Structure 1
Amino acid sequence: MKHLSLVFLLLPIVVCAQKTYQTLQVPGRSAFCSIDTAGRSVLPSGRYVTPVGRTLRITNDPFGMALSPDGKKAVTLHDGVLTVMNLDGTPTTTRIPDYAGTIKSPVNGATFLGVAFAPDNKTVYLSNGDKGRVIVYDIDRLQTIDSIALDGNGYTDSFTSDLLLNGNELLVLDRANFRLVRIDLSTKQITASIPTGRQPFGLAVSPDRTLAFVANVGLYEYPKVPGVTPTNKDTMMLQFPAYGAHTKESREGVEIDGRKIPGLGDPLADEAMSVWVVDLKTGKVVSKLKTGVQIGGMIEEAEVVGGSSPNSVVVGSRYAYVSNATNDNISIIDYKTRKLAGTIPLKLDRNDGSPKLDRYRGLMPFGLALSREGKTLYVALLAFNAVAVVDIPTRKVRGLIPTGWGPTRVALSPDQETLYVTSARGYGAGPNGGRTFVKPSQGTYIGDIQLGTFQDIPVPDAAQLAAYTRQVLGNTYQTVAVADNGRNPLPPLPKVRQSPIKHIVYITKENRTYDEVFGQLKTGRGDSTLARFGLGVTIRNRIATDRGNSGRTTDRPVDTVAITKADIMPNHSRIAQQFAFSDNFYCDSDASIHGHHWMMGTIPNEWVEANAASAGRFDAFSKAPGRRFPKASGAIDPEDYNEIGGLWEALERSKVSFYNFGQVNEYAGNYEEQYDTTFGAAHPVAFPMPAAAFRHTSRNFAGYNTNIPDQFRMDQFEREFTAKWLPTKGKPPKETLPQLITVMLPNDHGAGPRADDGYPYLHSYMADNDLATGRILHFLSRTPYWKNMLVIITEDDPQGGVDHIDAHRSVLMLAGPYVRRGYVSHTHANFGSILKVIYNVLNVPYVNQYDLTASLLQDFFTDKPDLRHYDVVLPDGRVFDPQTAMKPYNKTFDWRKIQKGPEMDDRADQRAEHYRQQADN
């Protein structure tokens, strides 16, 4: 017994103090995406939607809605489509144009926000968006009555935004020319053009019809780069953004290569993100009001970088109410005094002791409706999947009503007993391919298969509203107790302890779904019939004619086999199986315009969403200043910034080092050619980069541009990484490796075949991207930093493919010594989950409600590091030849050098350097 006691005394005693932390996580963290219109649908975010009342599925993205004066009909406006709803009795819908093509579209593919009913309950006025016209349409006869152009009297390139009927005239916003247009309906003539602020978006009138209120969402008027013309743009465009936003340089301008690039001016100018009040009797602007929180202010020790984004206005007997999307609040305007009269904060916390939502943003108030007596305001919360019911006398949120995904508009019936609500994405997308999938009439592209919703909801009493409120909050998050013994490399919250992971490399790619890359993996929930970019793939060429037995050419396309048994993306399969991947990860985004916001921690606001759902012609050389409008598909514009920013700003506030290779490079009007290799794109207009990113972005890495091989990007990455952060020739690194590195590898977006450049098939772009992805992991795993590194690999959006679970399901792989080997995670994950990994590991406070409530991906990690590196493999040479792809740049694809890994000091080098220095002494 004495000997046994001695043995116990000699053993090391390890005591792991276990703590329990309260976290917020989405309720669907154990579920796959699904649609259940009779119950609970699971969204890509892991949140649920359970729209109440009677719910109709309609075309996606209804950003405009109007009720007929008699309350018996409603019209919603979508991207090139309108839906007419008969609300008298059992609701019915008519889509115009219909899928069969029997009903002609009156808008010719162009719409925006505005729709209004005439007193006859059948004539509607429709925004013709990019066409710069107002369409007059009879919804009973389904015929166009008239079309009224906004151009003329010196104005060109008009863009029709919101509109409304004001007695015998029509008030129309022209966002391209920054004006309010008055149209006499008896003559169909424009009687006045009244200047507004930038990018006028929302419009309302006072009950006595004497005042018009214009909500302007534009922040800057963006100047053309001096010297750029339509014929010299390939040589004169900016090769990199001129400045970061809201800086001295962006205000005053800079000189670049002998050219003075104009500044953008003051972001607090009257024209920027404001509400203008117009006296309709005199036709004069009588007030310019800055609503919401202003840029440069401080919110809980964080600097405000996003403008308030005022977007919608409703007017009562004395007060007007403005939704400020970025600030999650409502501004009150006393229009008798023409001054701001206060703010209604949209606070939701239940004071039950759980972590708070209200210190974070994430509601995005958009559409508004005001009760007739002026005491209740209904607010569509675009990012919260609910309508807030606000008690105006107390300025408090009385409760929440469940809606579909992304509510846009809300209206009250004439009898004030029914609410009507539209939602952009309804129940979500669902599957868009697979063995048992049946193609619906609207098609399979993610933006088509994902239908919107129209709800009619009896106005709830207090008891029903309380139940609805519990339902909304339960759909959004749960309080989850996480026991933590200090071992998992992913802490449960930021700033509770240090992780052994010191460096994160965040690699983002383009447009792929899970099934088309990983559908063959046996350990994941995939459909191998959709794995067109997997292993052993048959590549087919489609030709447009078939001569058949008759020898005559027909229009029937024919597939011919080009290659069999091709391995398209072998590195993806190897990385997934050697390290860890998710079969339950979803992009929150439908397309790049959303994806590049979500990836970088920025919730797309109403400006982003409305522009994504509408065609809009950008023209750097137009006389209309609003035609140089920001609509970045791969960047983040100043109009889009969240209140305290996103990932970049959060890192900089916390003094966490970071460096960016290629993100946020694709602004409106980009010029993307094969030799735009310094940034991947050139710009004819001076759009700024987010200031934090501007300060930490490579000036020699090609971002999005599929004309440039991903192999070229990898050469750029390896060169700069080696020069900055690896020891060479006996000397230590020039700089310390940042804690976060972001890298864009975009070529799995795909493009048209370019056989002469090494891309004979669509699959060639995937193979290029696969090789680059393998190369970066091969390289990183051979650096000294690997022992404390995490690599995250994902896609910005899933729009290029199909999936048998959900059209949003996409690729997520994690690699590194602290990642479990050979593991597949079934935890529901989205971009918020990825950002939560970054914030928790690097001890950075969360930025918004999506970070706060995302699922916690601790199952990916192990506390027993495995330092084995990754060995890259070549894809099928018949599909992609990297040497041919590099030929235009006179570069050699050096496979042996790539296999060798980074050029670092070895013992022989250091010995030689030691004796050389001794000899010199």
Structure 2
Amino acid sequence: MHARRAATALRTLLLAGSAMIAVAATTGSGRAAPATITSSGQYLTPAAAPGAVFTALNPGLADNPSYVAGQAISTAVSPDGKTLLVLTSGYNLVNDASGKVIPADSEEYVFVYDISNDKPVQKQVLKVPNTWAGISFSPDGQHFYVSGGVDDDVHTYALGASGWAEIGTPFALGHAAVAGNPLSQGGVGFLVKPQAAGLATTADGKSLLVANFYNDSLSIVPLSGGVPGGAATEVQLRPGVINAAQDGVAGGEYPFWVVANGNSTAYVSSERDREVDVVSLTGTPQVTARIKVAGNPNRMVLSADGKYLYVACDNEADVEVISTASNTVVDTIRTTAPSSYVGMPKYFHGTAPNSLALSRDGTRLYVTNGGTNSVAVIALNTAKPEVIGLLPTGYYPNSVSVSPDGKMLYVVNGKSMPGPNPCNEKLAADVPASCTPLQHYNQYILQLSKAGFLTMPVPATEEMEELTRLVAHNNHFSFHESARDRSMMAFLHRHIKHIIYIIRENRTYDQILGDLGEGNGDPALAEFGKTYTPNVHRVAWNFVDLDNFYDTAEVSGNGWPWSTSARESDYGTKALPVNYAGRGLSYDWEGTNRNVNVGIASLAGRKAANPLYPDDPNLLPGTGNVAAPDGPHGQVQRGYLWDAALRAGLSIRNYGFFIDLGRYNLSGALAKYGIPEINDAYAQKIKVAYATNPDLAPFTDPYFRGFDNTIADYYREQEWSREFTNYVRHHDLPSLELVRLMHDHTGNFTTAQNGVNTPGLQIADNDYAVGKLIQTVAHSPYASSTLIFIVEDDAQDGPDHVDGHRSEAFVVGPYVRHHAVVSARYSTVNMIRTMEDILGIGPMTLNDAYERPMTAVFSRDDRKWTFNAAVPQPLSATTLPIKAQTQDEPEWQPLHNAAWWANKTKGYDWRKEDAIPAVAYDHILWEGMMPGKPYPTERNGRDYSR
């Protein structure tokens, strides 16, 4: 055990070092700037600029006065420059002490600030039931408008003697479900509702323009005295809907933002189709041009003279400059860093430019880079527009505005790290008086993700240079791989020829490994300890216990992008909290868009895969995916790990990643269209998996079932094992295998087969499948050349005493250290970087390019390894064909049966990830697995390894 004692000593040094880094980062002059570290390893220093003030957005709830809103998304300055509006669009759900949502406290907000003296003074907070990014002043400055998102309407506010107030009822945009179509809910797609997005008014104030994000159209709403009235005109943006001769041609889909040029022209950003649609507003409104851009266009701003349209484009990390005279792109401005900057990163995917603001004199363009937590300052009064500096912001800036005199910037961001509970009596010497018991029941990770409001004087030149270096430091742009890292990764690249990458679902470190007996685990939080998960306990104990590992994502919606591409799209980042709060939008993060499988290009192919698919060639035609990442060198939508492997000439195989779930778990009249719930698909030659990614589809095992809690992971592992046996026989194991073992998500208690119908049994099933897969590799000819990496996509469904992102992760195989605790701070991004280095495929984004590989996990001396799976005791209560084993642990006793769990979760939708009320389910899990113990209400932050 000397190695463990040495590891503990090393842990102390690592924790001390990381703590110092997290407390302060320094600018070029050595001035200290308070810093926070994100789950991806970046540093945040929003208050670093001279004169910067970073504050929370507190709506002043009467019953929860310390509540802080999350997901600030848009800002708008009044025509007279005296008023700033800040809009939220996100989660913002507040629960009572029983975990139920408090409707009056669970709305979105418009914060109204007086900025007439530069320093913002909050004057009002207005509640809005639902929103989706759109907010705009009327030209007279006496009215403003807010898009109602999923409510398919627009709210109108007028300025009166006592301030701003909503007038009349919201203007309904009128998108109705198609009669007789059970999959229609008013939006274009399957089971999706409309979603009102960006807003703009014409110069004369007579028309309000609304981007119908989920109806692929633009609504023109008449205004009279600033108030909507009369019938709206709807302009279709899809080519095939406009002209039948263009059936099946993609265009105009996911229209997010709209800008008016005078009274005659509107520009609409089509995020999915990478184009800006030009709409003539005179005569009969219609699309007159489509301007193709390289990335996914989101927000736009027009120059004061109307000659140039500046378009922020995600994926390509640039601003594209469009001439309104010719409707062509005339310039491209990279926003990642100044071109002359010595440390300018080679990689730019992940920068995520997502909003823009022009100075009143037109010489400066300010762009928020969501992915690098910064504002890019672009000089427009030079021979060629270019970034001249970077300014640090809060976590994921979403919007920037400029004061009329050009001296002040106002930036809002959408995220924060959850960290310890600020009302934790065990941590704080003096608990804030504002803390209430209510806060203890609002610990879901999206509830803890808060917005921030940054007020910043525009820095002088010398200060901007210093701040640019700080942003570079925060994002590791100057990262240089150490000689030790380089040597170890080169060694592994020579010896490891195969990687098996397993992704599981939603568990924290403490929830599973809290009772490991080593590392920083809290045994009081081990809901599914070693009785349920003996195999991962053995893996952590016999190989490496990663007790300081963090899932980069908050939930599955960004867990899958981060786990497969080391980033998330700007659209995905903004849409996720809205979708998870039940405020509309669809789960677009695993290859489907609006629940349509866009991995299949043709109408015939889609109908063959899904008999429910309508005979509509204009329903999201082609394989455009609004949330897909680009790869390097113009590889559109090919920024996933498997794309990188294929570019490097490696072989891959997919088991369950990015599968269309639309035909799983169908009931009633639709049941006949469903894919059968069978556990021997190969034996019956029934295809149960249709890939949603066109590049992954040819390498997908059609007999390996995707996300479905009805089928046990035992049978998924059996199907994987069937193919593995053939690879052994033919000596052709792929270089990279992607394996989804998802049953630790839990669910489907009434339909689950083989008696695997309670959370404990499902977690145990998942554990055994993982153990069996490791055992199969360990006792095969590939044992000496294969590494197995295992990660949870996120850690949302359970308590952890350190952080809401901390999770279990494992590396198994040759050259993995034995009996070691590794407390280096690692994340999903570090794991991806490690796999890339071993496979020799290179990084995909600036995130994995500038993070270290997990070198501390490996040792050249630990070449030999083995593993034998244990059968978790609880599985003896199932009908899975498993032989019971003698156990060292006390005999397992069931707590509750399937009927109890089904009753507790009645009405829950288990058909896809995270469609259930997460807060309530976490409480149910605790009640069922930890009877008699109070639900944990704080993160005490203690180091239990000591």
TM-score band, normalised by the shorter chain? 0.7 to 0.9
2:797 alignment partner, SS class: coil
Question: 1:59-458 residue pairs with structure 2 within 5 A?
Answer: 59-69=69-79, 70-79=81-90, 80-88=107-115, 91=120, 105-107=127-129, 110-118=130-138, 123-137=143-157, 140=163, 145-151=168-174, 156-157=186-187, 158-166=194-202, 167-186=205-224, 188-196=229-237, 197-206=251-260, 208-218=262-272, 272-285=273-286, 287-293=288-294, 308-316=295-303, 317=305, 318-348=307-337, 357-392=345-380, 393=382, 394-427=384-417, 429-430=419-420, 436=426, 441=439, 443-458=442-457
Supply the distance in 1 between the matched residues of 2:37 and 2:151 (Cα, whole angstroms): 38
CA distance in 2, matches of 1:30, 1:460: 30
Return closer, same or farther for 1:48/1:422 CA change in 2, 3 Å cut-off: same
Q: 1:751 aligns with which of 705, 729, 747?
A: 747
CA distance in 2, matches of 1:687, 1:662: 9
Q: Which amino acid aligns with 1:501?
A: I
Paired residue for 1:715, among 707, 718, 723? Answer: 718
Q: Is 1:378–1:387's contact at 8 Å kept on the other side of the alignment?
A: yes
Name the structure 1 match of 2:63: none
1:796 aligns with 2:793: yes
1:573 is the counterpart of 2:546: no
Distance 1:527 1:154, change over 3 A: closer
Match of 1:554 in 2: none
Residue 372 of structure 1 and its aligned partner are, at CA, apart by 1.8
| Contact preservation (8 Å) 2:681, 2:687 | no
Question: Quick one: which amino acid aligns to residue 747 of structure 1?
Answer: H
1:839-850 map, 5 Å: 839-850=836-847
Of residues 488, 503, 506, the one that matches 2:498 is 503
Q: Distance in 1 between matches of 2:703 and 2:828?
A: 27
**1:827 is the counterpart of 2:824:** yes
Q: Over aligned residues, Cα RMSD in angstroms?
A: 3.7
State the partner residue of 1:228: none
1:40 aligns with 2:35: yes
Q: Name the CA shift for 1:802/1:432 in 2 (closer, same or farther; >3 Å).
A: farther
1:725 corresponds in structure 2 to 727
8 A Cα contact 1:175 1:199, kept in partner:
yes
Give the letter for the 1:64 counterpart.
S
Classify 1:772/1:208 alpha carbon distance in 2 versus 1 (closer, same or farther; 3 Å). Answer: same
What is the CA-CA distance between 1:478 and the residue it aligns to?
5.8
**1:154 deviation in Å?**
10
Distance in 1, matches of 2:366 and 2:78, equals 19
| Deviation of the 1:627 alpha carbon | 12
Q: 1:432/1:748 Cα in 2 relative to 1: closer, same or farther (>3 Å)?
A: farther
Secondary structure of 2:765's partner?
A: helix
Query: Which residues in structure 2 correspond to 1:622-701 (within 5 Å)?
Result: 637=625, 639-643=627-631, 644=635, 645-666=639-660, 671=665, 675=677, 689-701=692-704
Larger radius of gyration: 1
Aligned positions, number: 739
Distance 2:713 2:152 in 1: 40
Q: In the alignment, is the contact (CA less than 8 A) between 1:200 and 1:214 conserved in 2?
A: no
Tell me which moved more, 845-854 or 40-49.
845-854
Deviation at 1:381, TM superposition (A): 0.7
1:623/1:650 Cα in 2 relative to 1: closer, same or farther (>3 Å)? closer
Distance 1:35 1:572, change over 3 A: farther
The alpha-carbon deviation at position 829 of structure 1 amounts to 1.4
Cα separation, 2, equivalents of 1:624 and 1:145: 41
Pair 482,803 (structure 1): closer, same or farther in 2 beyond 3 Å:
same
Q: Distance in 1 between matches of 2:704 and 2:487?
A: 35
Assess if the C-alpha contact under 8 Å between 1:487 and 1:863 holds in 2: no
| CA distance in 1: counterparts of 2:370 and 2:847, whole angstroms | 13
Query: Offset of 1:721 from its aligned partner?
Result: 1.2
**Structure 1 pair 678–330 and aligned structure 2 pair: CA distance change class (3 A):** farther
Q: Flag the 1:291–1:598 CA change in 2: closer, same or farther, 3 A.
A: same
Deviation per CA, 1:683-730, whole angstroms, max 9, x where unpaired?
A: 9999963333112111111121111111111111111211x212xxxx
Structure 1 gap ranges (5+): 1-25, 98-104, 219-271, 294-307, 536-566, 727-732, 887-891, 897-921
Query: Match for 2:528 among 491, 514, 533?
Result: 533
For 1:702, what is the secondary structure of its paired residue?
coil
Secondary structure in 2 matching 1:74: strand
Q: Is the 8 A contact 1:513 1:811 kept in 2?
A: yes
CA contact (8 A) 2:359 2:404 kept: no
1:737 equivalent in structure 2 = 733
Letter in 2 for 1:48: Y
Whole-angstrom CA distance in 2 between matches of 1:126 and 1:625 = 32
Structure 1 pair 284–170 and aligned structure 2 pair: CA distance change class (3 A): closer
| Cα gap change, 1:428 to 1:33, in 2 (>3 Å) | farther
* Residue 572 of structure 2: aligned partner: 608
8 Å CA contact retained: 2:658, 2:691: no
CA contact (8 A) 2:376 2:390 kept: yes
Q: CA deviation at 1:533?
A: 1.5
Higher relative contact order (CA 8 A, sep 6+): 1
Shift in alpha-carbon separation, 1:440–1:490, aligned structure 2, 3 A? farther
| Aligned partner letter, 2:210 | V
Shift of 1:417: 2.1
Distance 2:482 2:564 in 1: 29
- Pairwise CA distance, 1:854: 1.3
Q: Report the residue type matching 1:664 in the other structure.
A: F
